[in-house]
Structure 1
Amino acid sequence: MPVWSQVVASPSAVLLAALFSGHVLADFLAQTSTLAARKRRSAPAMLLHGFLVLAVHLACVLPFWSVELLAGVLAIALSHLAVDVFRARVDPRWKQPLASLLMDQGLHAAAILACWAWLASRGAAERGWIEFDPAWMPAASRMLLLASGFVFNAKGGTGIVRSLLARFPQAVPAARTADEDVYATGRVVGCLERFIVLGLVLLDQWAAIGLVLAAKSIARFKELDSRPFADYYLIGTLTSVGVALASGFLLRAVLFQ
């Protein structure tokens, strides 16, 4: 049996995938743009986000249910809340949106890994209320991680691109015009672009990625005569594709080695 199959054919591996999936779903899917903005200035909104983090994690790890698991998930939710409160306080003074986002996600990941290590050391994953069949554990881990990868590219990728573009406000069309529909369309296009590139990376179709970029450039060819738009296009496209490539490489390393 390949090394990865031996690793994922264990309840602890599925639990780790479930915990990270819970984070991605809670932070990038359950959290709407409105809630993300309100929690920075409203304690009830911040508490609502913390409750959603707890609820989504509990739903994802339900097969492993135990008192120890409940304690671990509570610790993850509380640490998530503490990190978000800290970020809300320092962001107005720091004014580094990309660094803030990366720090935020790094701290969340560290908390999840710490709680998972504690749970695994106590054998909490093996004491769930369902009997695990090693035959489906690799598939379960892959499904959870693949779903998380696409959700992250949909919302997290948009956050990374917008955070980087915020450093160059003169290049962002929405900063100079009132046409928010155009900007919203750009976000959807970027999301679809990352989905396609991520899928092609996972399918090992590298040449097709170039065709995607070429097709997008042709569609925007006339607008590239404008220097501000060209800068916006290059920064946004390269960052967007970079996010999809990085997440694709990570998923391939985890899933297919």
Structure 2
Amino acid sequence: MAKDIHEKGIKSVAFVKHIGIHLLLLFAVTALERKFICGILLLTASHGVIDACTKGYLAKKINPIWTLVWDQILHAVCIAGFVYAYYPYTIDWPLLLGKNALVLYSAWILLIFVSPIVIKKIIEQFAFTIPNNGLNNAGKYIGILERLFIFFFVVLQRWEGIGFLLAAKSIFRFGDLKANKDLKLTEYILIGTLLSFGLGIGIALLYNFVVSL
């Protein structure tokens, strides 16, 4: 269905089926109570408009990941509005924008955006060209994921998880390094891995220190 919608947009029969499924599920979840019918119809209509914009238009203009992100954000906002209309709630802004939250957001920025730049600048000093026979930017995303895992392991005081992560990465890399028989490539990967792990642990420890103040 997703493939058909991507190719044909709102003209796709799958698009109509997709919206219909959501409509039926909303009726099922609300047990067909009359007071929810107006909200359900509005929420279903908004779902159709959002999907037409994201899956039909944005999907052809921007990266698929960002298409997914915007699609889910818009759906979440509409669902939040639907719930608020029937069961008003308050948002705990101090929890979302307080000191601990801002420290957490800062840590994520350091792990996801700043660390790759730092590692790249250090690695560039060795003037080694890594063989370009893998997925595009795969190393960057592997590094981001491993630092996020490390961050949560340290914050949750599960240090053994870091050892498991390092062992798993070593096992998967061992075959490639053995096949290439390239000492420079081995050293390149080792330096990058240790830098990534070091930054992940350091940022996590800094986060723990700041929130404890």
| TM-score of the pair, normalised by structure 1 | 0.43
How far the C-alpha of 1:224 sits from its partner, in A, is 2.3
How far the C-alpha of 1:147 sits from its partner, in A, is 1.3
Q: Please tell me the root mean square deviation across aligned C-alpha atoms, in Å.
A: 2.3
Change over 3 Å in CA distance of 1:178–1:189 after alignment to 2: closer
Which of 162, 165, 177 is residue 120 of structure 2 equivalent to? 162
How far the C-alpha of 1:178 sits from its partner, in A, is 4.8
AA at the equivalent of 2:163: G
Indicate whether 1:150 and 2:108 are aligned: yes
How far the C-alpha of 1:204 sits from its partner, in A, is 0.9
- Of structures 1 and 2, the one scoring higher in RCO (CA 8 A, sep 6+) is 1
Match of 2:189 in 1: 233
CA distance in 2, matches of 1:223, 1:191: 21
Deviations 1:5-34 (A, max 9, x none): xxxxxxxxxxxxxxxxxxxxxxxxxxxxxx
CA distance in 2, matches of 1:232, 1:212: 19
Match of 2:205 in 1: 249
AA at the equivalent of 2:126: F
CA distance in 2, matches of 1:200, 1:230: 26
AA at the equivalent of 2:171: I
How far the C-alpha of 1:196 sits from its partner, in A, is 0.6
| Number of residue-to-residue matches in the alignment | 119
CA distance in 1, matches of 2:138, 2:101: 29
> Highest Rg: 1 or 2?
2
> Which structure 1 residue ranges, 5 or more long, are not aligned?
1-132
Change over 3 Å in CA distance of 1:167–1:156 after alignment to 2: same
Among all aligned residue pairs of Structure 1 and Structure 2, give the percentage whose two residues are the same amino acid: 29
CA distance in 2, matches of 1:208, 1:256: 23
Equivalent residues in 2 for 1:18-97, closer than 5 Å: none
Match of 1:192 in 2: 145
| TM-score of the pair, normalised by structure 2 | 0.51
